[in-house]
Structure 1
């Protein structure tokens, strides 16, 4: 299963991408996380349904110092998974 999340709230400048990276990596998920120019955080992730449910719960909880106001979620076509490797942060130094 491949999912796209857009997380809105106070999610930039509070370690949210690093939090998502840690959570997704522990679940052996593939994909990426990045900041958007609008101040949100975007995630594309592939894995087993149960692991994705665990990640979804973590996204709702958020990192320490963050505030998650809203999460938009879309299911992507399975073919999107072909281009996804080990979970990574895009745009990080």
Structure 2
């Protein structure tokens, strides 16, 4: 008996390689527009995650996206916006969460 229906193989969607990183930025990084500028840069790069001030005067960023975009955001964090003086960026690798937005946390 001949097949009467055409079967179509479903193609799997190719998922881009995604990583998640946490960076703690130390130096003069609060009260210089770091969070807002970081959020704009992350959105420009298509990165999800969040940024917030820490009580010790540092800024914490969690960012998720393709490695190249994350490298660009990390490079930006090493300099920061005008008025910032970044002394150190402490990185740590995290599990991917699948978030699809970037926000400033308070």
TM-score by length of 1: 0.91
Report runs of 4+ in structure 1 exceeding 6 Å deviation: none
How many aligned positions are there?
88
- Equivalent residues in 2 for 1:1-93 (5 A)? 1-78=19-96, 81-82=97-98, 84-91=99-106
**Structure with larger Rg:** 2
Q: Please identify which structure carries the higher helix content.
A: 1
Partner of 1:54, secondary structure, is: helix
- Root-mean-square deviation (CA, aligned residues, Å) is 0.8
Per chain length, whose mean CA-contact separation is higher, i.e. which structure has more relative contact order (CA < 8 Å, sep 6+)?
1
TM-score by length of 2: 0.80
CA distance in 2, matches of 1:85, 1:77: 15
**CA deviation map 1:9-33 (0-9, x unaligned):** 0000000001100110100100000
Unaligned runs of 5+ in 2: 1-18
